[in-house]
Chain A
């Protein structure tokens, strides 16, 4: 039976662990940073590349590669920004790290700053995360008091400041370029790409935006764990452990640290303790609300980037939402679509109009006004947002709609069959 593999959660799972700087140091913390200061930045980047770690924020882009895009000698400052906006429905793993082991993430952040030559890092944190903001603030204060932040951390001469910036409650500000606009004090809206942030990001300077969990992997990759150990946790191209936010109708919901070669079935029935009240599984939203839904028949796959991509869905932020046979998927889809209609920034046509229109059609079903025609229309309107928008929110809204309609058509028909 599957069980947790503790790398990121090594401290958190230790009941005696204290998350203070002292406690983290006692557990071996900031030793990796010391080691990293003895390396050249490009060696750090190369090591991260070698580890094969892919971004945990949703897109799964190789982090080492992203850092290697940061140009040198532009005459402009470089920035590393931690994306702590965690707003993808179902996802609650970054919060766990920031609340319970902030220094692990911060050590990773410091390593990242050193790797990309950033002397002023920012943590863009979701505004509603009050306890996590407090936890991070305390941890950053500790670092300044200790000298790990400031003019000369560990005698490296690498001047480094960190600022924590809290957002104002918009899902779209988790999208990296909207995040940058928001951080600059503007309306948070995704930017046209290219230019990518590595060329023109925060204030027009080279910038790397990285997810909290991604950064939290760094102490292991560059420290005693090492590249090979990290890679050994999953199949080729899916290295490392990852934090899985398991929610829905399972007996034991929670955030679990798992290898990348665990079968989804094992997650649901092993780690998750099976379906609540002995019910049958109906389906799973595998990677946050933006991913295409899977039916019960499809869950016999390894839970990682490539395996899920192979079956036309995605790992996303590794937020598994499990639902049982009693679930009304039309209501579920309506709730998801309502979320996207509310969170669309509205600047691009298909997403602005399509999210709201789809939501209206879904409401018709709920109100007993569905029809074959409307089901077809829902699929069409949803599909018209796929690949036609500026940022991935359009796709995120389209994929659930298209997959629910395709995989659970009878559930929609039930709403109007007796009329």
Chain B
């Protein structure tokens, strides 16, 4: 079985083929040479081409030698691979002397006015100009005039511009024209003075500026948040997903010495294409948050929370519960939709197997999805949690007004398990839970629940564990361990498993893959999926459903 969404299975019998340096390369009819080459893992240097935007063919770096146009005749001169259609039988050389000279002259031209301030440039280490100059450049310059110099301009709330480093590739210009449709940024002047700036004379305020830093091949546009914080070659990158909202943009978490420095979008054509929003980028800050972290298990001893060991915590919970012998209706669990699929599944299982209770609730407020002719706008939703769809798929109870949960707590539950930070603005719920005989809070951060809990168990943030979430498109996607969590914390799924053991129930799960497998086996929503298949592109639920809490709204003009 192939996973459905990595590449569409090609129904055509045979794709047309051309040759790059004698290697056969398949292409879609109408596809450009460069696009087909890159898709097939061939290397052709390029600056201005970006697969998500229109082709301008202006940097001239992607030149190739078409020795046979497919009709037996060669092209008269070097051609830009980004702008020429691939053709059956075409033969292309990318490494001969002509091509090397073609690249060399372009790179020389790009460098004559470049400040070459790599030592203080944040792009250094991930700069296309630097890489290509090293690989294809000549290493010396014949330019002996003073360089073009521009002053500093504040161009954005999220990004910074150093115009002297700009190579005029116009990717940023095309971005606000074609991707966000905001049109506030573009090219000014002409000839040798061509440069970029905002049209409004004011900093940009669009919500996606960080992408301009990503697509800028050099250090001209950089993220204000990241500037001067870390040399990029020190960063280790782990693929994961953003949990800033229910879109679940694919990202890399980039960290050094257990500190996260930035989040970058990771291409996923089914979810976020190449992009993510600035708000999502800023969620890296939470990953480094230490002040409000719960760093070890806590137990309430005569009013005060005190450090206890994991064993004592579990033992205390088990003892209290066996004293109380609660009935199913007297045990409830509250969770937020930041919890992963596995955690929601296990929580539900714990209540069912342990207490014959179905009382797992989460908040399910109504939310808005933006509709827009510009794809990028549709990334943002008002649901700022990553796993509402997972909760719905697993049939966690809840409603927009929290009516159900309010009704059940009127029955004065004895045992309440809280996962994360649900209902944080609902004072009424908190007040009614407070008198319960046993309140267990599982979570990473202190909040209103840890204040009233009898036992507090330290969990892990998603950047510290491997779990899955189901996004608004009902696509199941996985996170990965980027940074080490606190020494005494444990992933929530493991905590629930251990809690079940303490209560005398055999939960045979020693890793998250096994939990996922059980979930796929026991629930209809996840049947047919396996953790390994999710891969780095995610998998859609086999049976999708309609989320009635969603309202489509037009993007503000």
Contact = CB atoms under 8 A, between A and B. Distances in A.
Contacts of A347: 56, 58, 168, 170, 187, 194
A350 B191 contact: no
A192 B143 CA distance: 29
B132 to A, nearest CB: 12
A115 interface: no
Nearest to B148: A356
Nearest to A346: B194
B483 to A, nearest CB: 41
Nearest to B56: A192
B56 A350 contact: no
B192 A352 contact: yes
Contacts of B520: none
Contacts of A346: 168, 187, 189-194
Contacts of B57: 192, 348, 390
B196 to A, nearest CB: 11
Interface stretch (B107-115, B501-509, B532-540, B548-556): B107-115
Interface string A331-343: 0000000000111
A357 interface: yes
Given A349-B58, A353-B110, A353-B113, A344 B83 contact: no
A188 to B, nearest CB: 9
Nearest to B145: A360
A350 B113 contact: no
A50 B77 CA distance: 31
Contacts of A155: none
A355 interface: yes
Contacts, number: 87
A187 B185 CA distance: 13
A350 B167 CA distance: 12
Given A357-B143, A388-B78, A390-B57, A352 B194 contact: yes
Interface in A220-262: none
B60 interface: yes
B436 interface: no
A170 B191 CA distance: 11
B189 A384 contact: no
Given A346-B193, A347-B168, A356-B192, A389 B60 contact: yes
B59 interface: yes
Contact of A343 (B56, B59, B83, B191): B191
Nearest to B109: A353
A186 to B, nearest CB: 10
Contacts of A342: 191
B170 A349 contact: no
A344 B193 CA distance: 10
A344 B56 contact: no
Contacts of A343: 190-191
A387 interface: yes
B106 A344 contact: no
Contacts of B143: 357
B428 interface: no
Interface string A341-375: 11111111110111111001000000000000000
Contacts of A356: 191-192
Nearest to A394: B60
Contacts of A384: 105, 108-109
A353 B113 CA distance: 8
A192 B83 contact: yes
Nearest to B193: A346
Contacts of B85: 194
B102 A357 contact: no
Nearest to B85: A194
Nearest to A359: B192
B55 interface: yes
A76 interface: no
Contacts of B190: 170, 172, 343-346
A372 B292 CA distance: 71
Nearest to A347: B58
Interface in B512-529: none
A349 B192 contact: no
A11 to B, nearest CB: 39
B113 A348 contact: no
Interface string B66-102: 0000000000011000010100000000000000001
Interface string A137-150: 00000000000000
A350 B105 contact: yes
A172 B113 CA distance: 23
A36 B142 CA distance: 60
Given A357-B143, A384-B109, A349 B59 contact: yes
Interface in B141-194: 142-143, 145, 167-168, 170, 186-187, 189-194
B102 A388 contact: yes
Interface string B119-159: 00000000000000000000000110100000000000000
A26 interface: no
Given A341-B191, A341-B192, A343-B191, A354 B109 contact: yes
Contacts of B168: 346-347, 349, 352
Contacts of B145: 357, 360
B75 to A, nearest CB: 11
Interface string B21-59: 000000000000000000000000000000000011111
A280 interface: no
Given A347-B168, A349-B106, A388-B78, A355 B58 contact: no
Contacts of B187: 187, 346-347
Contact of A344 (B55, B77, B142, B191): B191
Given A192-B83, A346-B168, A388-B78, A353 B192 contact: yes
B55 A192 contact: yes
A357 to B, nearest CB: 6
A406 interface: no
Given A350-B109, A354-B109, A384-B109, A390 B191 contact: no
Given A192-B55, A357-B112, A357-B143, A350 B192 contact: no
Contacts of B58: 347-349, 390
A377 interface: yes
A350 B106 contact: yes
A348 B192 contact: no
A356 B58 CA distance: 17
Given A172-B190, A353-B192, A388-B106, 8 more contacts: A192-B55, A346-B187, A349-B61, A349-B110, A357-B109, A377-B142, A384-B109, A388-B105
Interface of A: 170, 172, 187, 192, 194, 341-350, 352-357, 360, 377, 384, 387-390
Interface of B: 55-61, 63, 77-78, 83, 85, 102, 105-106, 108-110, 112-113, 142-143, 145, 167-168, 170, 186-187, 189-194
Which 10 A-B pairs have CB atoms at the shortest separation, nearest pair first? A346-B194, A356-B192, A353-B109, A344-B191, A347-B58, A348-B58, A384-B105, A192-B57, A346-B191, A387-B77
